[in-house]
């Protein structure tokens, strides 16, 4: 018991201990306030009684983490698919088992539910759980349609229950520190953003019986899934909005099935451009038949580039042939030497090597973006722990739902732009006060 | 025009920087100076550059030069006339190898940076500054006085084709200008007498007391024949010229 208390505290300190900034940090990233070690100490030995709805690969990953969270107790599991329910049950032997989440929601001794089902069921389950008085932690993306997102958002504004969506980058130390430093001017004015996610895999899972194809490979079918945008881009778009605290107002893109012509309905290749009212853009690309470029969230500033994915930044000046920089260094160091100032120094504009500088001190976990389940230390553990803490304290995590709403809307609007092959203006009816255009 | 001015308390120097003016960057470093005095010099330099760029930039459709080139003006302002006179004054002295009028168009690309550096030099001297380093785009430089920790300002000339250092140069109250063709940028120098583009892999570096002389000669030597080179060397006797065929 003692050991596991430390584990939870360590999660927070691991995330924020290296960052510092205390009060100032909480004012710009207020969602972190609800899960401080001080608040954790206040709850003493209380435990959140939580239930998992959806016991597939992500759900089981959450179970492993829940086992390391001392203020969490998994009391129930729900999945209509017996194989997954059994596997989950083996991980938390005492938990009650359900095949229908509505039955589970009737139980009064459950404080909160963790929803890790396919996208299509996020909204109905979230809405039902909130109205039966449960606190809710739901996987991203928020929902399959914009109408559903709005309904969830509206419910959120009216409920006294706690609601989280798993936007784990908001709890990932390299992102937190990176965004903080960008706001402090690390790379100058932000002039654009480039995010991509490349994999070389078909996204399929083995199906024991053909009748299960659509429910097991739900990611490939539009009734359950919105494809690459909600599965992958969602996290990355959230980071863009978070970084510059603004929402794009126009969206255009092209989507296709380039390689995996296996009966799937969702694109395996998307290129989307988001434009903010000031002309800045997010250039988004995802392709799952080549993984050379991996996954990257790049914030481009006038003076440098932050690769949030790797927790590093690059400065433009490091790559410049500038005698003046060397001269200034000499004057500072009180030394005298030749500077390579003279000469017409134009070079062909090939990509030159840049020197990486770390954003956080100490080891950084980098997500290569190739796993369909999770990446180590990517904030997923801390956001889940924060939810369990909130189940006990009732304290909401500010902005998490808003960020999830904004990011999901951008995913769904991109799909609309690609399907209708037109430029989409952000629709007024889906604007919320949180958004700044 | 975006300019930056910074004062280093520990190093006791100021650095003024303009990211882009007359198509390139401009830097001025002044050691051992009071911040307020340096600020006044810098502001004055900035407004001179801004004003001159607005007059001369042939890629800016609103500039007087662009409008003259486009045939939209019948007369020339007094200010621009002075520039033309200064430029054309070099034509006879350079055997016609330098002109601000090529192919019927005005182009101050080979002159303006030198004039700007001369302006900086005179401005600094008039304010009693003894040591300073002025760098316009890496190719037009003036070392006023000397480096605070050395007897001169030392720069080296790099081979644009990647061959390393070509020459070390010491500048003490001396201007330096380089011209040349580089891998990505060839044929921008045109012989006004023949209309031919200079395409050779050549780099010219000129050291002179006067930044404008250095600027003009670095272009003229790019295209001069051996005979013309001798004549130029005779009539500008105090300048030093290095020519590298790479
Ligand atoms: N945050 C992240 O980084 C991350 C990573 C992976 C997956 N996810 C998300 O997690 C969710 C689940 O993904 P997954 O890979 O685990 O899928 P999965 O197919 O492995 O698991 C989904 C499970 O939900 C069950 N299910 C379906 N409908 C249900 C219902 N009505 N009630 C209860 N259970 C139901 C299925 O039977 C299945 O066992 C998705 O929304 C996905 O986007 C998030």
Domains of chain B: residue spans and CATH: 3-245 (3.10.520.10)
Ligand 1 mean position, distance from CA A122 (Å): 9
Ligand 1 mean position, distance from CA A360 (Å): 32
- Cβ–Cβ < 8 Å for B226, B193: no
pLDDT of A345 reads: 44
pLDDT of B115 reads: 97
Same domain, A213 and A149: no
Residues in chain A predicted with pLDDT less than 50, given as ranges, are 1-3, 344-349
pLDDT of A348 reads: 42
Give the whole-angstrom CA distance, residue A285 versus residue A274.
11
ipTM of this model? 0.87
**Nearest chain B Cα distance for residue A297, angstroms:** 28
Residues in chain B predicted with pLDDT less than 50, given as ranges, are none
Number of Cβ within 10 Å of residue A245's Cβ equals: 10
Instruction: Please judge whether A336 and B29 are an interchain contact, meaning their C-beta atoms are less than 8 angstroms apart.
Output: no
Same domain, A35 and A166: yes
Same domain, A194 and A280: yes
Ligand 1: residue whose CA is nearest its atom 18: A56
Same domain, A315 and A389: no
pLDDT of A3 reads: 47
Average pLDDT over chain A, rounded to an integer: 91
- Cβ–Cβ < 8 Å for A273, A281: yes
Q: Which position has the token pair 């996204």? A: A203
Q: What is the CATH number of the domain that holds A36?
A: 3.40.50.720
pLDDT of A346 reads: 42
Strand order in the sheet with A339-342: A339-342, B153-159, B164-171
Q: Ligand 1: which of A52, A62, A118, A266 to mutate, judged by most atoms within 8 Å of the beta carbon?
A: A118
Using the atom order of ligand 1, give the atom closest to the CA of residue A53: 33
Residue at A232 is within a domain? yes
Paired strand residues for B5: B16
pLDDT of A146 reads: 98
Q: What percent of chain A has pLDDT over 70?
A: 89
Give the whole-angstrom CA distance, residue B232 versus residue B239.
10
How many distinct structural domains can be found in chain A? 2
pLDDT of A20 reads: 57
Instruction: Please judge whether B178 and A331 are an interchain contact, meaning their C-beta atoms are less than 8 angstroms apart.
Output: no
Nearest C-alpha neighbor of A129 from the set A164, A88, A97 = A164
Q: Is the pTM of this model over 0.80?
A: no
Same domain, A354 and A284: yes
Same domain, A146 and A216: no
- How many residues make up chain A in this entry? 437
- Cβ–Cβ < 8 Å for A365, A175: no
Using the atom order of ligand 1, give the atom closest to the CA of residue A59: 16
Query: Which residue of A335, A337, A347 is in closest CB contact with B183?
Result: A347
Using the atom order of ligand 1, give the atom closest to the CA of residue A167: 1
Instruction: Please judge whether B147 and A336 are an interchain contact, meaning their C-beta atoms are less than 8 angstroms apart.
Output: yes
Same domain, A392 and A414: no
Residue at A49 is within a domain? yes
pLDDT of B128 reads: 96
Task: Quote the radius of gyration of chain B (alpha carbons, Å).
Answer: 18
Same domain, A226 and A96: no
pLDDT of A50 reads: 98
pLDDT of A34 reads: 86
Same domain, A368 and A382: no
Query: Which residue of B148, B168, B182 is in closest CB contact with A331?
Result: B148
pLDDT of A1 reads: 39
pLDDT digits (tens, 9 = 90+) for B43-70: 999 999 999 999 999 888 999 999 999 9
Q: What is the CATH number of the domain that holds A197?
A: 3.30.360.10
Average pLDDT over chain B, rounded to an integer: 91
- The DSSP call for residue A232 is I
Ligand 1 mean position, distance from CA A119 (Å): 7
Residue at A175 is within a domain? no
Ligand 1 mean position, distance from CA B143 (Å): 68
pLDDT digits (tens, 9 = 90+) for A308-361: 999 999 988 766 656 888 888 888 888 888 887 655 444 444 566 677 888 877
pLDDT of A43 reads: 87
Same domain, A369 and A390: no
Chain B interface includes A352 (CB < 8 A): no
Same domain, A256 and A386: no
Same domain, A352 and A390: no
Paired strand residues for A152: none
Is residue A141 packed enough to be buried (19+ CB in 10 Å), middle (13-18) or exposed (0-12)? buried
Range of the domain at A153: 2-170+377-397
Residue at A180 is within a domain? no
Q: CB under 6 Å to ligand 1: residues? A: A 53-59, 78-81, 84, 101, 116-119, 121, 139-140, 166, 168, 218, 231, 372-374
């Amino acid at each position: 018991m003692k050991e596991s208390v430390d584990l939870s505290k360590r999660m927070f300190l691991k995330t924020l201990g290296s960052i510092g900034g205390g009060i100032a940090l909480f004012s710009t990233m207020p969602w972190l306030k609800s899960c401080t070690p001080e608040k954790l100490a206040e709850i003493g030995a209380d435990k959140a009684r939580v239930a998992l709805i959806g016991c597939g690969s992500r759900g089981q990953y959450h179970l492993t983490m829940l086992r390391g969270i001392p203020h969490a107790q998994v009391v129930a599991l729900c999945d209509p698919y017996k194989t997954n329910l059994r596997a989950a049950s083996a991980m938390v032997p005492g938990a009650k088992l359900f095949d229908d989440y509505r039955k589970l929601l009737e139980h009064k001794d459950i404080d909160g539910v963790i929803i890790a089902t396919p996208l299509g069921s996020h909204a109905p389950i979230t809405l039902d759980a909130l109205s039966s008085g449960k606190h809710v932690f739901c996987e991203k993306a928020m929902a399959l349609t914009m109408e559903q997102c709005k309904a969830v958002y509206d419910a959120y504004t009216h409920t006294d229950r706690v609601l989280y969506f798993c936007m784990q980058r908001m709890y990932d130390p390299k992102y937190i520190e990176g965004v903080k430093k960008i706001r402090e001017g690390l790379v100058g004015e932000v002039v654009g953003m480039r995010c991509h996610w490349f994999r070389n895999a078909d996204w399929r899972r083995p199906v024991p019986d053909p009748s299960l194809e659509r429910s097991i490979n739900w990611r490939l079918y539009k009734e359950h899934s919105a494809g690459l945008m909600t599965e992958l881009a969602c996290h990355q778009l959230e980071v863009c909005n978070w970084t510059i605290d603004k929402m794009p107002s126009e969206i255009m893109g092209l989507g296709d099935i380039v390689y995996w012509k296996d009966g799937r309905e969702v694109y395996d290749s998307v290129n989307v451009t988001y434009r903010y009212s000031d002309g800045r853009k997010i250039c988004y690309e995802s392709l799952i038949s080549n993984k050379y470029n991996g996954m990257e969230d790049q914030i481009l500033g006038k003076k440098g580039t932050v690769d949030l994915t790797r927790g590093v930044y690059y400065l433009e000046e490091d790559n410049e042939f500038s005698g003046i920089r060397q001269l200034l260094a000499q004057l500072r160091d009180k030394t005298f030497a030749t500077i390579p100032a003279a000469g017409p120094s134009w070079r062909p504009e090939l990509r030159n090597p840049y020197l990486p500088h770390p954003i956080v001190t100490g080891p950084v976990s980098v997500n290569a973006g190739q796993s369909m389940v999770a990446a180590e230390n990517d904030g997923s553990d801390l956001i889940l722990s924060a939810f369990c803490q909130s189940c006990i304290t009732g304290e909401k995590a500010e902005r998490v739902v808003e960020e999830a709403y904004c990011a999901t809307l951008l995913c769904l609007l991109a799909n609309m732009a690609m399907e209708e092959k037109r430029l989409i203006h952000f629709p007024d009816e889906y604007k919320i006060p949180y958004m700044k255009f | 025009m975006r300019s930056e001015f910074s004062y280093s308390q520990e190093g006791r120097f100021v650095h003024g920087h303009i990211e882009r003016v007359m198509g390139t960057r401009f830097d001025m470093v002044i050691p051992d100076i009071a911040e307020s005095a340096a600020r006044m010099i810098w502001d004055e330099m900035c407004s001179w550059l801004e004003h001159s760029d607005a007059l001369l930039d042939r890629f800016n459709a609103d500039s007087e030069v662009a409008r003259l080139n486009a045939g939209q003006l019948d007369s020339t302002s007094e200010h621009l006339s002075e520039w033309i006179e200064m430029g054309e004054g070099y034509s006879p002295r350079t055997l016609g190898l330098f002109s601000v009028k090529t192919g019927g168009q005005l182009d101050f690309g080979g002159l303006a940076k030198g004039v700007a550096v001369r302006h900086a030099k005179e401005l600094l001297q008039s304010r009693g500054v003894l040591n300073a380093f002025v760098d316009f785009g890496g190719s037009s430089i003036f070392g006023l006085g000397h480096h605070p920790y050395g007897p001169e300002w030392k720069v080296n000339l790099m081979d644009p084709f990647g061959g390393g250092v070509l020459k070390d140069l010491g500048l003490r109250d001396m201007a330096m200008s380089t011209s040349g063709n580089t891998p990505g940028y060839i044929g921008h120098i045109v012989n006004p007498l023949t209309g031919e583009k200079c395409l050779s892999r050549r780099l010219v570096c000129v050291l002179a007391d006067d930044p404008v002389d250095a600027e003009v000669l670095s272009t003229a030597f790019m295209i001069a024949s051996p005979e013309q080179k001798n004549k130029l060397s005779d009539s500008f006797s105090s300048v030093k010229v290095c020519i590298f065929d790479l």
